[in-house]
Chain A
Amino acid sequence: MDSRRAILEALRRAGAPAVPAPPHPAPIRYADPERQFAEALVAVGGRFFRAPDAAGLSAQLAGLEPFASARRMVSLVPGVGRSDLDLSQAADPHALEGLDYAVLPGELGVAENGAVWVAGDRLPLRGLFVVPQHLAIVVPAGALVHTMQDAYARISFSGRGFGVFVSGPSKTADIEQALVIGAHGARSCAVGMVG
């Protein structure tokens, strides 16, 4: 018997008692989701910016040292930052190494934890959110939900697809529980809410 059949049959034979799928609990509702989002983002090491439009956000990001001093940058958000690398010509993700800064579009912000949903189909190369040294994600101001439960209600995958929640910069506490920002991925993460 092949392993697939053997495993499936063993699981069927195991006779775990039938339990219906439960309803999910009603999640928390924050009085001021945007403020909650900003606080959660700062708590996980990120920076929060609020701007009426792309030009306003660009002006604010210009005050960030990593943004101002970036020698090589890519931006997928019109009007914010610049692109020093033609991503339409880059088929090999190794081209992302050496990028100092990436500006990416985010689809959704999650108030409870400062996470932003980045949809893979908007990224010409999957590694754009993790290989560049610093990161800014731009989210439309209306696209804010309270919790992960609300976020998943708005996400769908049809067939192939990658997507990631990013909550602040890369971090580790593996050496004596001391928090260090910038483990493997972005050393800083700014989220700009625009609109």
Chain B
Amino acid sequence: MAQAGHPEAAARFAADDARAHWHDQALWFVRLKRDRQARALPEWEALRACAEKIKAHTASRLADYLEEFERNATAAGAVVHWARDAEEHNRIVHGILAARGVTRLVKSKSMLTEECELNPYLEARGIEVVDTDLGERIVQLAHERPSHIVLPAIHKKKEEIGVLFHEQLGTAAGASDPAYLTEAARGHLREKFLAAQAGLTGVNFAVAETGGVVVCTNEGNADMGTSLPPIHIACMGVEKLVPRLADLGVFTRLLARSATGQPVTTYTSHFHGPMAGGELHVVVVDNGRSALLAAPPHRRALSCIRCGACMNTCPVFRRSGGYSYGAVIPGPIGSILSPARDPARHATLPFASSLCGSCSDVCPVRIDLHHQLLAWRGELVAQGRLPAGKRLAMKLASFVFRHPALYRLGGRVGRFLLRHLPRALLYGRWNAWGRQRELPPAPKKSFRELYGRDDG
């Protein structure tokens, strides 16, 4: 499917200057909370390095560990299912629900089921699906998709949520107080939890050694959804596995600190088998992951624990919004994962980065995000997928860089023009760097002149 590129979508978001600024600040606030948590631990960098190695180790023996997981999960009373792709995943989940006559399902957050587009699949087959994470419920009621993997409704103002809840949940007209709106959602969703016949969750970690799956939330929605209805379906990508229970000690210390700047999520729940008299089904999904693992330049992207830190810190994400990436996983990691799935559709994403490296600096599993973005640019250029404008500009730049005299002349002319051209000309359509921002004042002298030498 063809798709508008990131620049166009980002321009639409940034056109509302006040909102773009507010979005930027909201995410930067989360980034600062993350920094405070990271600094409180002297072993922070050692933890990241360890997490990176645990992931690499697990990836090198993933099939063995999955078999071990399956053995232990089965022994604990779970049923393990295997799905090669999204369609098979959806078919399995629907099959479990249909066989038990389930028509009311509550879900906690799962990016995997977003990736597989499970909700519309089930709804088309007569099953009511209620997303129960508050942010996810908000976007579900608004018929939107999450714009961020940890903060699904970060793009929405409380006034907009107030209107939405007024229309759909009967809250007072004009009310926008977050505490009031959250209380209304609590009441509304408690009814859904009590009426549900099954609960579906994502999986943050699965443990080969014990056969358990671990789910982390702040709201307790996964816990409500797995302790009231008797059937629990847990959907996981193959990469969620860690070898030993002790490895959770490393990852639970990193996840919430990186994600929201909390020392740990409020609830970290470990499921080994079903509740008494109930059922636990674990659906293990590939859907492109084994292919990613087989692609050496990008296999480290499979280590992602979906904390969202790379989004919160990314200057491009903060100013362009999650929707501009046109994919379930946005931001720096999304810009690596999406082209791996469909290079034609997502060719602009690896260019949606200043390559500042901030994403790589905060990633708790030390994925070399900005190097991978650069690698993708090279691959997309080799595949001939560079947009025409960029191709021309690159050719021109490479010619100029190879001719120092021309480079110096260009600099002089550029500095002169920047100081003397009328605004209307300077900020014309041709100047991509003058959109939604002010150019810095042009200095009279170049760096080379200031440095006092001109020997090339």
Contact = CB atoms under 8 A, between A and B. Distances in A.
Interface in A111-157: 112-115, 125-127, 129-131, 147-153, 155-157
Contacts of B53: 19, 21-22
Interface stretch (A6-14, A48-56, A65-73, A79-87): A6-14
Contact of A7 (B267, B270, B290): B290
Nearest to A185: B220
B46 A25 contact: yes
B41 A153 contact: no
Nearest to B230: A93
A159 B76 contact: yes
B110 interface: no
A175 B266 contact: no
Contact of B219 (A14, A159, A184): A184
A126 B227 contact: yes
A16 B60 contact: yes
B264 A167 contact: yes
A146 to B, nearest CB: 11
A164 interface: yes
Contacts of B243: 21
A176 B26 contact: yes
A163 interface: yes
A183 B186 contact: yes
B253 A148 contact: yes
Interface in A54-107: 91, 93-94, 97
Given A175-B153, A183-B219, A184-B189, A130 B267 contact: yes
Interface string A166-192: 111111111111101011111000000
A122 to B, nearest CB: 14
B249 A148 contact: yes
Contacts of B153: 174-175
B186 A176 contact: no
B379 interface: no
Given A184-B221, A186-B220, A25 B50 contact: yes
Interface stretch (B129-137, B337-345, B353-361, B401-409): B129-137
B26 A153 contact: no
B245 A152 contact: yes
Contacts of A114: 263
Contacts of B134: 172, 174-175, 183
B60 A18 contact: yes
B77 A160 contact: yes
A184 B138 contact: no
A40 interface: yes
A70 B153 CA distance: 34
Contacts of B212: 157, 161
B250 A175 contact: no
A182 B221 CA distance: 11
Nearest to A165: B268
B246 A126 contact: no
Interface of B: 26, 29-30, 41-43, 46-47, 49-50, 53-54, 56-57, 59-63, 66-67, 75-77, 82-84, 88, 132-135, 138, 151-154, 157-158, 161, 178-179, 181-183, 185-186, 189-190, 193-194, 210, 212, 218-221, 223-224, 226-228, 238, 243, 245-250, 252-253, 260, 262-273, 275, 277, 284, 286, 290-291, 293-294, 299
27 contacts: A3-B88, A6-B84, A6-B286, A10-B290, A14-B299, A16-B62, A19-B56, A22-B50, A25-B43, A94-B228, A112-B253, A126-B227, A130-B224, A147-B249, A149-B246, A149-B249, A152-B249, A157-B212, A160-B77, A162-B275, A164-B223, A175-B134, A175-B178, A183-B182, A183-B218, A184-B189, A184-B220
